[in-house]
Structure 1
Amino acid sequence: MCAGQNGKGILTESPSPPVDVLIDDIWLLQTHSTPPSVDHQQDSSTAIRYSVDSIGMVEQTFRPHPSLNPDAWLRELKYTNLSSETQDLTQAVFRLGRAASPQLHTWFPTHAVLFETDSDFSVGTAFKTQSDFYTFIPGDTLIEVQVDACWRLQPGQSATIGQQGIWLFKGRKNDFHNQLQAWYRSIGCSISTDNPAWLKEAILYETCAGGHVEALFSDVGGFDPLSKQLEYLADLGITLFWFNAVHEHKTPPNAGSGGWNHYGVLDHTRIDSILGGEERFRHLIEKTRQLGLHPLGEIVLWGGASKQGKQLEEWHIRDRNDQLLNPWGGGCVLDYSSPSWQKVIHDSVRLVAECGIQGLRIDVMDGHGPNWSSPRTNHASYSTLGGSLEMLENIRESSRTSSSEPILIPESLYDRPEYLYHGITLGYGMQTTFFFVNSIHPGEEPESLCSDLYRFFENEQGSLPDGSLVLRTLNNHDTVVAEGRTIQRFGTGLSRALYGVCLCVPGIPMLYQEDEVGSFEFLKQVHSARRQILPFSHGDVDYKGLRYSPKVFSVVRQYNGKTAVGLANVSGDAISSEAILTTAGEGLKYAQAVDRVSGATASIRNGTFHWTLLPYQVALIEIVKDAPTSGEHNTAAPPFIPPSSQEDISLQADSGGIRIQAGNLAAALSAGPGNWSYEEQSAGKGILSSTQGRIELVQKDGAVRVDALFFDPSGRKTFDIKIPATNRWALSGQTAWLADHTLQRHHPFPKETNYYWDRSMFTGKAPWGGLYNRVLPDDRLWQSVLEPLHSGQPGFVFTGMDSSLAITDVTSTAENIILKVADNPLQPERPDLIISFLGQDLDLSPRVRAFGLGDQWTMDRYPQPEARPLRVELVVSPAGSDVIHNLKRHCAAG
């Protein structure tokens, strides 16, 4: 190793060959031992050559890299074919031996490795390339960089394979972040364009005009129905939209047997007519911008299903055996380095850009592997990173028709530094999403969960060029298919706490389509709070800046002299403890902590304050150095569910059913088919009965008590309560208070499209036996199997027509209780809500019905739940302030 005087005793010769290449599936130097020759050159570089007779020569050259520091080098690798045959080079490896005690600190942030040594010096190593993907593999005594470089070399031809940066610096782990930033600057990998303030403060929403992914992108009905949701989403706090791809992809008759997937574009020159065509897409984008929101589109690059891609046969990617790659089922995939394909994508992007979008998410930015049949080059793997970088700039240029500096989001397994330093480019944040999907498990102890969160985010901190922004999300269309939604795995309370983590850490929080269902009130509050406190969107982060509770994830954010504290309680326990600002507390002799979510405040004395968090609560706290004047920082927002101003209630019952009226709002109780008769036993008391069961009604003290019992021997009885024409609803869940607007999100496509969807058409874990039994009942807003009603105060509240109605003290033997939305023909803008008590829910998967949501057992045949009578007890009353308060209070207490 050419390490200079400072490198003695720090870097060692690796036990394996220091570099190697895989030639025709054989590691050359590992299988052919050969002594190297060393050539010290006049420019202070050193070339070390390994020649293997009649096969090839491997040459590594160390060049000084003074733009980083005097003890820095770029290690280049070159291979030359010395044989008389064609050779395939399929990988190269750089090895770096290190002499350091294993207990010393090593930082491995995916794209580099920095480690302490037993001396005063530490070592950094990273990689510079514009053509090939690479992977760092650190070990105790050896660090490898595997470079996926692929070349087809004729006799005498050479391949040059990237540059490994190696540098020494005097310092320890506290210097690692600055050292990696210095490396980025030294190779020109610095963020060139400042992100606008609104982007740093954005909340992103991924949505598809066709529908969400579980429903095969086919249950929303097109651009016009989606546009009706925009004001609701804007009120929620969404400021940035990622509209899934809109190029032609759907074909009749339906999502089950026709084309449905916008990631399988059929024609890059047309916007899908089944969604509404170009005119209605323009209308959607125009409405988005009129609301002050920012629209992004999406471009799909693989191309194998499109007529344009099929015509470019010479650019279809082939493997070493000349076989077409077909990972997506379209017959082929395109080489991103193809000038012809880049032109197709240029025009495809321009089509949507001219509709007014401000940028795009780019699907599968990393490409599809090496193209061994490239007409352009014998560098087969140039179709990977090299082609991706060319395509990225091609898309940026073609997007400028609608935005002088478009926002691009390249999808990648890793947030590659090579993608991020030109223009405004956001990291896709796949590693964050994978962490939430793969590293957090139901039932994990909150202390362990917090430790995992800190470990992940601290390791990531400073790993990308300064100024980089990445997305932070629990769900996207891919993870929903693979693992189901977070709420299905963790319940509402923990899902909200984890989203709170996304709000606290640096980056852009993102929701996936319909993640907001049942959480409107919560999300609006936290989004508003984050928008008010600039350190959360603009500031530096300190993950060790607060000592509070091991069950609470905490950060301290600082910006422009202002300090904020983010707290996310990932436990089902209330936490009440002293909070100590370890660094930012210096100088805070007198201050106040103000939670912009709940309005709670606490006095800070000498950097310490006492704080209480409810189960799964998220707090976004602004540190106010001067005590606020009365009411200035704690103005209560109007209640999302207003209490009823009318206390009257009326009961009507006959053989046709039961109607309970509270003010202008009614609950219609349906016993189902059968010969039912009603007998009034006394004033305010009666029984509706048949051979199938009975429903006892008692009207007393401004409420109606309902006690229903059904004898269906199959156990499949359903008891429904319809609440027509509501505009808001809420319920007390076991881990969270759910509250939302009444919104019909799902609509049929226009008849003239000859395209339809039904609940038998689906994809993903939930309908494939994860939650459901191969159906997708997409009308469900809530169900007790996912979020049980609160055991202490189970109830619902509904508002509409200036009235509020409560259904409380709910107990039932139902296998599942669901709240679903239904069309209201008389008032389409105000859908009906229906509570269904299901004696047996046959839509649930047999495993869930037998064992619940856990994955404890997998069986060929699951035991059938025992049939039993359906019992439902509840109280219907006007929703006065005391009723709502009791429901929320019990819910908050856990």
Structure 2
Amino acid sequence: MVDSTHTTTPAWWRDAVIYQVYPRSWADADGDGIGDLPGITAHLDHLVALGVDAVWLSPFYTSPQNDAGYDVADYRDVDPLFGTLEDFDALAARAHELGLRVIVDLVPNHSSDQHVWFQAALAAEPGSAERGRYIFRDGAGENGDLPPNNWQSNFGGSAWTRTTNPDGTPGQWYLHLFDPSQPDFEWNNPEVQEEFRSILRFWLDRGVDGFRIDVAHGLHKEEGLPDSPEDYDLAIHPTGHQPMWDKPAVHEVYRDWRRVVDEYRVEGQDADRILVAEAWVIPDEALARYVRPDELHQSFNFGYLMTPWRAREQREAITRGLEATAAVGAPQTWVLSNHDVPRHASRLSYDIERATRVLGIGPDHPQPDNELGLRRARAATSVMLALPGSAYLYQGEELGLPEATTLPPEVRQDPTFVRTNGEDVGRDGCRVPVPWHADQPAFGFSPTGKSWLPQPEVYGDLAPNRQDGVAGSTLELYRRLLAVRRKYGLGRGELHWQEAGDDVLAFTVTGSGGRRVQVVTNFGAAPLDLPHGELLSVSGPLDGHRLPGDTTAWIAPG
């Protein structure tokens, strides 16, 4: 038996369902083929009807867009591609009017190389205050011709790029754990620390309800920047075994930030401003350190996202996740899809050996079985939304959108595709603009029919106007799950495992007022007899009164 942390604290974030909007792919109001803030505002009613508690916006800041906005040139303004600060204020005001909280992305590990600080650093001398805001080092080798260490970029190739001095001679090297256009900040520098306190307050003063922190585990690097171990294996080594990830000093940053956001709490109101970590950290106990009482509020459980679709592994992942956060008094934060991984409606269709694939899927890969993938995705979401804690949904998953796997090379924009010479096709496949209306240009995404990435034809059949009110549609399933989750208080409940067969996941969640919901997922081929009670939700058609494979049911015990 595993009991999640049960609390009477009214803090909204402990069981919130938060919906991620990727601004360039949500809705285009001005017709240029790229989504924008007014487009988001125009469709907030969709989120209210869905039943979520908050919306998280991926970056919309001033940026050259080399990495879709995660290369920030100005942290206090809106890129004209997406609108203006006034458009953001209108969005936030409308969201709050509708009862939705607003979370914005924050990118503290690195800036754009077009940021005024980095441009000043390039123009300054080695050892200067300007260069001290970033990580510059002399090169290795007799003439400094080699990178300072062996670190590799997450986007492929070396994590170091050499500068050129004003006289044309080779200069120092700078660190970028991602694209060369994204130089890493030096977080030991007090000026960097104070700058981000100021950025937090800027957006808090505009009324945001929280921040999702990009690369939260990467801010501090190991002193001396030693080489990364050649034998590092993510499957067996803790993330902190690498010199660039999960260093103890990052926790001091988040204790500092927690003090900042707590300044904006309103006594007697459920008005916490929250901090959410994107931290690809293992094991679960290391990840749980980020959500200790004086640090962050939430941290995505990516281990759960990557868990194979098999009963035993699913139970183990859920158990580990709940135990790890319960030990520090925090809720668990569940997620199955986002803007960095293939959509789970396609990813889950692969066999066990490929079920954890998080790299992009291209036209030359084995193609997903989208019918099987959607059936499993609906079942998996039905498990996730029953679990105690908070949950995040990615735009379009409530429509059952599959990954766009056949994008041709000439339309791809992810820097990963370029830096790996196409060996990794990148993340464009999960970022294709969402459909709104099957019979409109670009399926309602843009009034002109433009779309910055081409939409698969199947997206039209999955548009909301084809699913709204249709019994058994994925959209109506999500609405039903979220309504029942809220009614029974499942996010604040306690989970108890039930013994079942090798191909069955079964548990009960005791929610608000002691009401119980029994959750059963059949991973096998043969249908199962349903437990007695009221059928609250089922992820797919029943076989008479039996539960088919790859299907999840919620039952109120009789």
The DSSP-based 3-state class of the residue aligned with 2:341 is helix
Structure whose alpha-carbon radius of gyration is higher: 1
The verdict on how the C-alpha distance between 1:212 and 1:287 changes in structure 2, with shifts beyond 3 A counting, is: closer
Higher relative contact order, chain-length normalized (CA < 8 Å, sep 6+):
2
Q: Percent identity?
A: 18
Note the C-alpha offset of 1:364.
0.6
Deviation at 1:461, TM superposition (A): 3.8
Question: Superposition pairs for residues 309-324 of structure 1, below 5 Å?
Answer: 309-310=117-118, 311=120, 312-317=130-135, 321=140, 322=148, 323-324=173-174
Structure 2: unaligned runs, 5 residues or longer? 121-129, 141-147, 149-172, 227-241, 267-271, 343-357, 363-367, 400-461, 463-473
2: CA distance, partners of 1:500 / 1:452: 17
The equivalent residue for 1:552 is 504
Cα deviation per residue 1:762-798 (whole Å; 9 max; x = unaligned)?
Answer: xxxxxxxxxxxxxxxxxxxxxxxxxxxxxxxxxxxxx
- The code of the aligned residue for 1:514 comes to G
Q: 1:511 is matched with which residue?
A: 393
Aligned counterpart in structure 2 of residue 462 of structure 1, from 309, 323, 339: 323
Instruction: Please point out which of 622, 637, 653 is paired with 2:556.
Output: 622
Aligned position for 2:533: 593
- Counterpart of 1:453? 314
Instruction: Name which of structure 1's ranges 324-333 and 520-529 shifts more when overlaid on structure 2.
Output: 324-333
Conserved in 1, the CA contact under 8 Å of 2:110 and 2:176? no
- Cα distance in 2 for partners of 1:418, 1:292 equals 31
1:408 matched to 2:275: yes
Aligned partner of 1:479 among 341, 354, 362: 341
1:287 aligned residue: 94
Does structure 1 residue 307 correspond to structure 2 residue 157? no
Matched, 1:345 2:297: no
Residues 220 and 226 in structure 1, CA contact (< 8 A), matched pair in contact too = no
**Cα distance in structure 2, aligned partners of 1:340 and 1:476:** 32
- Aligned to 2:495, the other structure's residue is in SS state strand
Q: Tell me, what secondary structure is at the counterpart of 2:534?
A: strand
Asked if residue 233 in structure 1 is aligned to residue 233 in structure 2, the reply is no
Displacement, 1:293?
1.4
CA-CA distance at 1:308 after TM superposition: 4.6
What value does the CA root-mean-square deviation take over the aligned residues?
3.7
Which aligned pairs between 1:360-759 and structure 2 lie closer than 5 A?
A: 360-367=211-218, 369-372=221-224, 385-400=247-262, 403-404=265-266, 405-414=272-281, 416-423=287-294, 425-435=297-307, 439-440=308-309, 449-464=310-325, 465-480=327-342, 482-483=359-360, 488=370, 490-517=372-399, 518=462, 519-534=474-489, 536-543=490-497, 545-547=498-500, 550-559=502-511, 561-571=514-524, 574-576=527-529, 579=531, 593-597=533-537, 612-614=546-548, 616-623=550-557
Could you tell me whether the CA contact under 8 Å between 1:426 and 1:469 is conserved in 2? Answer: yes
Task: Work out the CA distance in 2 between the residues paired with 1:598 and 1:501.
Answer: 11
Q: Is 1:221 the counterpart of 2:25 in the alignment?
A: no
SS in 1 for 2:211: strand
Identify unmatched segments of 5+ residues in structure 1.
1-173, 182-190, 251-257, 375-379, 441-448, 580-591, 601-609, 625-894
Relative to structure 1, the CA distance from residue 566 to residue 198 in structure 2 (aligned partners, 3 Å threshold; closer, same or farther) is farther
More helix by percentage: 2
Q: CA deviation at 1:401?
A: 6.5
Cα 1:266–1:487 change in 2 (3 A) is farther
**Inter-CA distance 525–562: structure 2 relative to 1 (3 Å threshold):** closer
Aligned to 1:270: 77
- Residue 241 and residue 390 in structure 1: after superposition, are their counterparts in 2 closer, same or farther (change >3 A)? same
For residues 487 and 527 of structure 1, the distance between their equivalents in structure 2, rounded to whole angstroms, comes to 27
Distance change (3 Å), C-alpha of 1:192 and 1:531: closer
CA distance in 1, matches of 2:35, 2:277: 27
1:798-817 alignment, distance < 5 Å: none
Letter in 2 for 1:538: R
Query: What secondary structure does 1:281 align onto?
Result: helix
Query: Contact conserved, 2:72 with 2:107, CA < 8 A, in 1?
Result: yes
CA 1:462–1:354 in 2, change beyond 3 Å: closer, same or farther? same
Cα distance change, pair 400–406 in 1 and its aligned pair in 2 (3 A): same
Moved runs in structure 1, 4+ residues, more than 4 A? 191-195, 318-323, 380-384, 400-404, 484-490
SS at match of 2:381: helix
Distance in 2 of aligned mates of 1:331 and 1:563: 49
- Contact (CA 8 Å) 2:536, 2:553: kept in 1 or not? yes
Contact between 1:207 and 1:513, CA under 8 Å: does it hold in 2? yes
Offset at residue 399 of structure 1 (A): 3.6
Cα offset, 1:309, TM superposition = 4.3
Query: Which amino acid is the alignment partner of residue 49 of structure 2?
Result: D
Partner in structure 1 of residue 176 of structure 2:
326
